[in-house]
Structure 1
């Protein structure tokens, strides 16, 4: 009989050295991007004033060490934000959907309530705008404390990942009423090495009762905080310039559309890699809670400090690029989702020994991850409004391109081990990995 949780033999990210390097290195990258995104410390292009960078590092990390790394006000606000969203996630009405079939044959229920969540948040923002006559001190405080909040989320991610790792060793009563001493662990997170398993995520679906920690972190505190940071940038530019430039307005519009589309269509995440196969450790916690809000908002923060006027023609071109990417991303994911639900059974596919099917038709005959191409085009549309005077705002499109290629290689490795000869057949049918006729 195959055990429920087999020992992981293959370690992603080069194993323990990679896990340690990423866990220590990425928080430094987040802080560095904050420093370099300030015109007091960086000149145009790649010219950095290292004297000023040294001064600000001394100020924040030596003279104001306690207020930077143990800011009680920011900690209280963030805990209220995180806890408040948890409460709303539990009490707001929604629909119950089942996730993928797990290794023990069960399916978890997920409470989907993105629409009422977005509606309530929008109502609160409008009410506060009217109540404060547009002064919005909350947005001003957020903008002025981006560094402190980013460090709070880094620390919180370490704590959350540690808690999830420790609780993965506790017994769990499954939903079908059968007791077991073992939770369902992630295929890649049961190496028995505590450092690597903490980083990659030992448990597949960490939960408190029926509340799913992984899905919540994926689409609530980080994504919605990203939205608020962008709004704080709009607010700051208006206070500073007396107007809002079209470039910042465009970045806010495109990113808000992306955020709301993700939150409102959260059921689409239930079959994706992050939810279906990856464990929840520091990698996902940090990515969801820190990397998303504090690096994806880099373009908006840059445009507050270095405004760019685009003009109508450039705005239209960038919008065309963005919605072309969105169309590819959304329609491809919808097609695959419907195929998995048996709604597009006439589409050509390769049936594997396990009975699952590999789609080789429609969007999915063009490349193995055609949705990644759409996502990358969207990333370009967020960076182009910043102009070409500095390479810094293009961090995201470069980072995201590397991330997508890495995801593709991880997925390919898993599929090759899972499907064997059927994966070889699939690769002959669909030779391109992301960009048709290129890669």
Structure 2
């Protein structure tokens, strides 16, 4: 059979491979964390991350505002100069503040996101079927939501300016805002964990006796309240939109303090265009690992509410206190390369969407699409199928779309200059995250598709970087 399948792939550009229906190892492995030290992986590691991540985000803001952007100065003040007492550290980095103006902004924003998600028009579409046979349904109104939100933000800014106010109030109280959203995110994660344990929305939930594990990793895969998808709201409608609005606010603040600054404008423009592409493709994002594998817990929900706000906006935030002059030539070069990276990233995703929507009956780069049809068995015993694309960008590497995404992250960070490493922390983090995600996805797909995935890896050899990884 393997020889016949190989022949079929070579001549017809398609192969149909089926995993052994009696082999449920992929099912068990998807739902069970493997590890030599369960206590470390399920208790100590989550505890360290839940404790250190808020400290890390607050530290970055502190370094920008109080240490002239220098990490060395921060550690010097923290450990050697003794200018920061334990009380000062606790108050500035670990204390769960509740800044009422920030509370009003956050709650209003969430209510807005929920209401607009419910009322804006859009065709319904289905997410990937889960191992229990559940098919999540969404409304495709993300792009309309994004455009309407930007228009409302512009109008609100005009109204505030006419009354001698500014949305840059958020920048002026950024430390209090981050502390507040951090507190809110912890409360939300705890609530989502309880809901998953005692009132799950679907059969796709996994609860344990270890509450720390459940808090960090989450319990439910698709939690909903009054048919509102929590992950859609936290990941897209709050997290990604807040990234766009905060980048705009920080750019405005830079202009208020220093006048026109080309570096701030370049970073802001690339961010906004990238997020325009994201919301245009939101239905595709709802079929990625963030949604179909990661559950609603601290890792995902806190990350989208706090980590995105504090870390992803860092280049724009850094430029407020460290403006940099690029000049017209560098501005044009960076913008051109940035827009090209966004297009390639979009085109990669579009190729996969076109192939799957046509059931593989289409052309990629002028040639018939090379695909592998990978069948697998759900936990309920039913058979399902995925199409693995081995043409176009996806013939270069299995995660080629990560390359333009990393290039873009570097391009909107480089206007900050190269005197400080701090504004490149997002790029460094994204590199580690995407390489780890490529590894995780490879493991998941090998367990899920079995021999079909092995065949796919023979055709598309590299995970991300051709010739390297």
Question: For this structure pair, what is the TM-score category when the shorter chain's length is used for normalisation?
Answer: 0.7 to 0.9
User: SS of 2:139's equivalent?
Assistant: strand
Report 1:42-57 matches (<5 A).
Answer: 42=68, 46-48=72-74, 50-51=76-77
Q: For 1:105, what is the secondary structure of its paired residue?
A: coil
Contact 2:218 2:295 in 1 (8 A): yes
Secondary structure of 1:97's partner?
strand
1:43 and 1:16, CA in 2 relative to 1: closer, same or farther beyond 3 A? closer
CA-CA distance at 1:44 after TM superposition: 5.5
Partners of 1:62 and 1:433 lie apart in 2 by 42
Residue in structure 1 matched with residue 168 of structure 2 by the alignment: 140
Q: Counterpart in 2 of 1:20?
A: 47
2:5 is matched with none
- Alignment of 1:380 onto 2:406: no
SS of 2:388's equivalent in the other structure is strand
Check whether the contact 1:226–1:294 (CA below 8 A) recurs between aligned residues: no
For structure 1, the residue ranges without an aligned partner over 5 or more in a row are 174-181
Residue in 2 aligned with 1:184? Answer: 204
Q: Partners in 1 of 2:185 and 2:455 — Cα distance?
A: 41
Query: What does 1:37-436 correspond to in 2, within 5 Å?
Result: 37-38=64-65, 40-42=66-68, 46-48=72-74, 50-51=76-77, 69-133=97-161, 137-171=165-199, 183-185=203-205, 189-190=206-207, 192-241=209-258, 243-345=259-361, 346-354=368-376, 355-436=385-466
Asked whether the equivalents of residues 160 and 166 of structure 2 are also in contact (C-alpha less than 8 Å), the reply is no
**1:276–1:133: structure 2 CA closer, same or farther, 3 Å change rule?**
same
User: Could you give the per-residue CA deviations for residues 145-171 of structure 1, whole angstroms, max 9, x where no partner exists?
Assistant: 111111122222211111111111335
Shift of 1:28: 1.0
Count of aligned pairs: 424
**1:177 matched to which residue of 2?**
none
Query: By how many angstroms is 1:375 displaced?
Result: 1.0
Q: Deviations over 1:281-317 (max 9, x none)?
A: 1100111111112111111111111111101111122
- Which TM-score applies when normalising by structure 2? 0.82
Do the aligned partners of 1:220 and 1:263 also contact (CA within 8 Å) in 2?
Answer: no
Matches within 5 A, 1:27-38: 27-38=54-65
Deviations 1:361-417 (A, max 9, x none): 221111110111121111111111111111111111111000001111111111122
Q: For 1:386 and 1:279, how far apart are their aligned partners in 2?
A: 35
Gapped runs of 5+ residues in structure 2? 1-21, 362-367, 377-384
Separation in 1, partners of 2:189, 2:161: 41
Aligned residues: CA RMSD = 2.8
SS at match of 1:319: helix
Quote the Cα distance in structure 1 between the aligned partners of 2:164 and 2:311. 23
